[in-house]
Structure 1
Amino acid sequence: MDFINGITFGFMNRCGEWDTAESYESLRLLKSRTGANTVILAVVAEQDTPWSTTIHYQDDWNLTDDEVIKMIRYAQSLDLQVILKPMVNVSDGTWRAHINFFDHAAPVEPTWEAWFTSYNAYILHYADIAEQTNIEMLVIGCELVNSDRRENEWRELVAQVREHYKGLITYNCDKFQEDAVTWWDAVDVISSSGYYSVKIWEKELDRIEQVIKKFDKPFFFCEVGCASRSGSEFLPNDWRFDGETNLASQTNFYQTMFAACDKRAWVGGFGLWDWKAHLYPIEIAANDNDYAIYGKPAEEIVSLWFTNNSNSTSLKEVRYDK
């Protein structure tokens, strides 16, 4: 597939919120205003607590399969590459990285086996949709840091996904975890969340480069972005950081990140975080201190970057026969 000039769309939306004129128009604006060639569609399921073993992905509040498929088809009609990203949140607010169970099962305690049984059903459900719609890539997990050590379970899931979906498969590890995942050889593309301080981009790219060389796989940042708050360029991963609105902080982050990555030919693209399905009025963009780039100076930087890097290719086309 082409170099990924992408943006994540529709995170945290619920049933009925994608199948609206407002959401379709938002996706159209995503492409026309930024020049993106890829959209990452974020579908969210939830589990009740970090130690729950049931993942709710077909409840009344979840996005319906029909509206997910319709949004994929609309993105394709806009000539956008589509990456489908099923994600897990924890209903009590705990970050998904802290989902965890005993490595050695104990009576009456929840287990990794039970969790993966539920999780695999969730991912395979969207693998079928990915195959049906012939999208470019499926993300089989995002920032599930404590599960990363469960190598056998992840390898088994990849094998199962390949029975359902013939396109590219990636796993989106968390920041600083690129060299902790031991099973990168099982997927087609390595990806991570690049929420790195503007002070350390060069150092972290040096570290990630060694992982890419070791596994000889394409790489892109499946998530990367920064809130428009004072100080967020130094702590871009902290979505709860309570800085005052500062558009320059977000701009500084994007300028630094793009400049650092531009020196590395192995960086195959970006899934910027993020673009809302329901946009705030552009007249109040300067008052928004979240990660969105719509109507902010960072959007202009993104548009310029995407436009100047629209013809490069780096991710191999890989399709598997059933």
Structure 2
Amino acid sequence: MSLPGGPVCGMTWGWVGTRGTWATPEAEASLAAMTEHGVTWTALAYAAVQATPFSTAIPFDEPPTVTDDEIVWAIREAKRLGLKVCLKPVVNCGDGTWRAHIGFFDQDVPGEPTWGEWFASYRLFLLHAAELAEAEGCEMLCIGCEMVRADAREAEWRALIAELRGVYSGLVTYNCDKYQEDRLTWWDAVDVVSSSGYYPSDAWERELDRIEAVVEASGKPFIFMEAGCPSRVGSAQRPNDWTLAGEPSGDEQLRWYRAMFEACARRPWVEGFMLWDWPAALHPLGEAASNDDYCPYGKPAGAYLREVYSVMSGGELR
């Protein structure tokens, strides 16, 4: 099964979706600059913040989360620029704990927070996003990102997906974390299998072999909902580690991009990418050489990306 409309030449935009950073002149310029890199899709990513990994309240309508007006602005601006849109609501923890560690006792204990309470809050967050995505014609909805401990809650995810389909008519995907593709048991419930492709530059063939078995068994299209590498010495071997110390290096990022795209080119079942990432406020072009973050703007990887996505849009990846 293939995705309608051809390959996903995508980029994740706007993270972390902090209130006041979307629907600005800077954000408008950022989206426009992104389209100059062959991008045809964007994942508009924003976070609601629960206090700790053990909290069950997700106040998605409060700061720091972007407002509905900002989300609608971003969708409409992306579509005005000719992009297909995946809306990607994500939950973060206010204490800095990675969302993969959100979790509760397997069996409910009186007086302790429960999975049921958390999913009740998460359901409201996702249903609201689904309503926005449907109203604005988003082509895809990503219902979760790297929720490693929550992945095992199959019944809750299936119930949530079924309810979301009553609100949203587009493609539904879930962004599992790296190395988790073969651990999910409910890929049949979504339309697109997707994961975070933060694999070392010399590990792509081995990891793609493993993922390929999952994709074949699912019978679903596959994309990397995230994939990227900081422009920093050492990051090609630890592309998921945004805290890794190292000097800025556009060449390091370019080497990783080349390894990733060349390996994926040999796997026709990889139908695209939502690369990580493109912020709402870009670094100045003149500072690209000293910027060591994931965004490829003004860096060697950006020029290479433009070439690769141009070829992909023509139906062939080299």
TM-score, normalised by the number of residues in structure 1 = 0.95
Aligned equivalents of 2:165, 2:315: Cα separation in 1: 28
Aligned equivalents of 1:139, 1:178: Cα separation in 2: 15
Does the alignment pair 1:277 with 2:280? yes
Does the alignment pair 1:244 with 2:271? no
The aligned counterpart of 1:28 is 32
Alignment partner of 1:235 out of 223, 234, 238: 238
Does the alignment pair 1:151 with 2:154? yes
Letter in 2 for 1:183: W
RMSD: 1.0
Letter in 1 for 2:51: D
How far apart are residue 22 of structure 1 and its match?
1.2
Letter in 1 for 2:142: V
The aligned counterpart of 1:184 is 187
Aligned equivalents of 1:210, 1:116: Cα separation in 2: 30
Structure 1 segment 18-57 matched on structure 2, within 5 A: 18-32=22-36, 34-57=37-60
Aligned equivalents of 2:245, 2:90: Cα separation in 1: 25
Which blocks of at least 5 consecutive residues in structure 1 are unaligned?
314-322
Letter in 2 for 1:286: A
Q: Residue 95 of structure 2: SS of its match in structure 1? A: coil
Aligned equivalents of 1:165, 1:305: Cα separation in 2: 32
Does the alignment pair 1:104 with 2:107? yes
The aligned counterpart of 2:166 is 163
The aligned counterpart of 1:128 is 131
Letter in 2 for 1:24: E
Letter in 2 for 1:6: G
How far apart are residue 204 of structure 1 and its match?
0.4
Aligned equivalents of 1:306, 1:299: Cα separation in 2: 10
Q: Residue 46 of structure 1: SS of its match in structure 2? A: strand
The CA deviation string for residues 133-168 of structure 1, in whole angstroms up to 9 with x for no partner, is 111100000000000000000000100100100000
The aligned counterpart of 2:229 is 226
Q: Residue 236 of structure 2: SS of its match in structure 1? A: helix
How far apart are residue 311 of structure 1 and its match?
3.2
Aligned equivalents of 1:219, 1:13: Cα separation in 2: 25
How far apart are residue 21 of structure 1 and its match?
1.2
Aligned equivalents of 2:18, 2:249: Cα separation in 1: 29
How far apart are residue 224 of structure 1 and its match?
0.1
The CA deviation string for residues 184-225 of structure 1, in whole angstroms up to 9 with x for no partner, is 000000000000001110000000000011110000000000
Does the alignment pair 1:287 with 2:263? no
How far apart are residue 16 of structure 1 and its match?
2.1
Q: Is the 8 A contact 2:48 2:64 kept in 1?
A: no
Which blocks of at least 5 consecutive residues in structure 2 are unaligned?
none
Runs of 4+ in 1 over 4 A off after TM superposition: none
Alignment partner of 2:14 out of 10, 14, 21: 10
Aligned equivalents of 2:69, 2:265: Cα separation in 1: 39
Aligned equivalents of 1:100, 1:244: Cα separation in 2: 36
Alignment partner of 2:198 out of 189, 195, 199: 195
Q: Residue 39 of structure 1: SS of its match in structure 2? A: strand
State the identity as a percent: 50
Q: Residue 274 of structure 1: SS of its match in structure 2? A: strand
The aligned counterpart of 2:89 is 86
Aligned equivalents of 2:17, 2:124: Cα separation in 1: 21
The CA deviation string for residues 14-34 of structure 1, in whole angstroms up to 9 with x for no partner, is 2221111110111011002x0
